Structures are given as C-alpha cells and as structure tokens.
Amino acid sequence: MQTLTPQQKFQYPYYPLVNPSIASNAESDPMVGLSYLPSTESVLLRLDGTKVTEKVIGQGATGIIIEQGEYALKLPRISRYTKIDGVPVEVGPLTPKEGDYDERPPLIESIEVEKAIYKRLGDHYGIVRCHNLKSTDVSIQMDLMNGDLRHYLAGNRPERKTQLSWLTKIAHTMAYIHEHRIIIADVRLDNLLLDDTLEVKFCDFGESTLMPLDWDLDGTDDLGFSVLTDIGQFGAAMYEVITGLRCKFDLTQDRKEPENLYTCPRRDSLPSTENIWLGHIIEKCWTQAFKSAKELAAELDQERVP
C-alpha cells in the first residue's frame, strides 16, 4: 500500500455541538424546530470542571476526542451553555444540587466499559492501539491517526486492490473482535481510521457490548445487536467503499414494542447489488447468509482483483 506524504495527510473533521436528533429531523423536514430555536454558544468541560482547550477532533453522544501531542485522548463529553440568544450564562459547578440529576456517572461508566473492551481485545493490527489501559484516569489514550475512511473516500477513489485489502482486513478484525465476545454494534466508515500507510483500524467501541466469555456468538445483546447486525453493517460499509455511494442500514426500521430491539432492516430497503463488484458478498451480508464474520473473511480471502 502507498504511504501518505505530509501533503496528503488529512485531518479529522470538527463536529460542532449539535443535537443529533434535531439535526436529523431538520434534514428530513426543514420546518422542524423553526417555531423557536435559540442561538447558543457552548463550552466543553473536563470532569474537574476546567475548560477543554485542546483541539477537538471528534465527538460522539457520550465522549469527545482531543488531540494531545502524538496521541488522541477520549474524554467524557460534558458541555455547558455559555450564551443563549447572545446573553451570557453562568456555567456553574458540575456537581449538581442535592436531588438533581448528575450526568457524570453514566458518562464515566461509558468510558470505563470501552476501556474494558480495549483491555479484552489487547493489541491487534486492525484495532487502534491504546496506551493507558492500566490507568484509573477516566480517559482512553490512543495513537493519533490520520482521519477516518469516510472522509478519505470523499476525496479519493482507491484502486480495487486497495479496496479488497481493506475489506478483507476489516472482516478478519471483526472476526477477532467477535471471538473475544464483543458485539461492535456500530460498524461504519466513520469508525474505521487510517494510519500513515493507509492501513485501516477499528476505533470507538462506545456503543459496543462486552458479552460473557462463554457466549456462543448466537443471539443478541439486551438491545438487539448481534453478530448478524455487525455483518449487515459491514455490508453497508462495503457497499460504500466499492460504489462511493452512501448506504443507510437502519437498525431502527423494524423495531417493535414492547421489546423495541434493534434489528437488521428488510432487504427491500437496501440498494441493489446487481452489477456491483463483490455484490454477491454484500448480498450475503444483508440476507444473513454469513453466520459469522469468520465465514465472511474466508470468502473475501478467496476473491481476486480482475
């Protein structure tokens, strides 16, 4: 594979403080929320209440990633308004008044669970390396990478040999993760990072589940995520790598009360794979024909670039 030159290196995108549900609804219905949405300014805080001053290179629902020298550091995401409609707002202490909700414990738990996942996985060529797993600090210190696969593909169309190499390594890494009794639950191009040599690595296990070590890889976690939903999401990522087109793999599409579990979407809600290179493998990902990531990886091993 080629190596990135300094001129070719790219940066993580900056994710603004936007409520994801508002943003999603606004995309589908531009009139949503127009009755009154105050203009706001926010600040990100550490657990001790001090302001985050480092460059923010990624944000999720429960965590932020900051650049810290040669490392990327994941911290609990705590934000406070500093202005509402131009009027300054006192940030105040993070410790809530007695009886009020304290947002910190679930955020801390999320980091600690993700840290436990990295500990169970250990070092692997397809997973971003972490450096502070023995520390009790509520953070995850990782190698600083060169951005995610989605943003790289937005400006580059790699040859098929590179695409196949990526997909095969991702599948083998996914099999390794499953073998360690972990359901990923969030397989997408945004969570696949590239190093200086364009090798792809998994990161962000914030949505993942630590299953019991005696789990037989069958069935789901408490929310409905499973080996099969991971494989289905991989199929969507594979479709995007090969075609350059977005593919929505909506695990909420067929959720039903009372369990309201995540589940693989209906096949007819996904795009056609006809006349697409490796389309037969994508098809098997979306129809539960692969019962394990190991089967998927083995089939990709047999493929050759025409």
Q: How far apart are CA 174 and CA 227, in angstroms?
A: 9
Structure tokens that stand for 302 in this block: 């047999």
Asked whether residue 102 falls in the same domain as residue 169, the answer is: no
Asked whether residue 109 falls in the same domain as residue 176, the answer is: no
Asked whether residue 135 falls in the same domain as residue 165, the answer is: no
Asked whether residue 121 falls in the same domain as residue 183, the answer is: no
Per-residue pLDDT tens for 185-238? 999 999 999 999 999 999 999 999 999 999 999 999 999 999 999 999 999 999
264: left (phi over 0), alpha (psi -120 to 50) or beta: beta
Residue 71: predicted pLDDT: 97
Residue 236: predicted pLDDT: 99
103: left (phi over 0), alpha (psi -120 to 50) or beta: alpha
Domain of 221, in residue numbers: 149-301
Per-residue pLDDT tens for 138-158? 999 999 999 999 999 999 999
DSSP-based three-state secondary structure for 16? coil
Asked whether residue 201 falls in the same domain as residue 155, the answer is: yes
Residue 33: predicted pLDDT: 47
Task: Answer whether residue 12 is part of any domain.
Answer: no
Q: What is the CATH number of the domain that holds 283?
A: 1.10.510.10
Quote the number of domains for the chain. Answer: 2
Asked whether residue 175 falls in the same domain as residue 111, the answer is: no
Final residue in a domain of this structure, among 143, 158, 179: 143
pLDDT, mean of residues 71-84: 95
Whether pLDDT at 8 is above 90: no
Instruction: Report the DSSP pairing between strands 71-76 and 182-183.
Output: unpaired
SS3 helix, strand, coil % of the chain, rounded to 5? 30, 15, 55
How confident is residue 91, by pLDDT bands cut at 50, 70 and 90? confident
DSSP state, residue 143:
E
Per-residue pLDDT tens for 32-61? 445 567 899 999 999 999 999 999 999 988
* pTM to 2 decimal places: 0.85
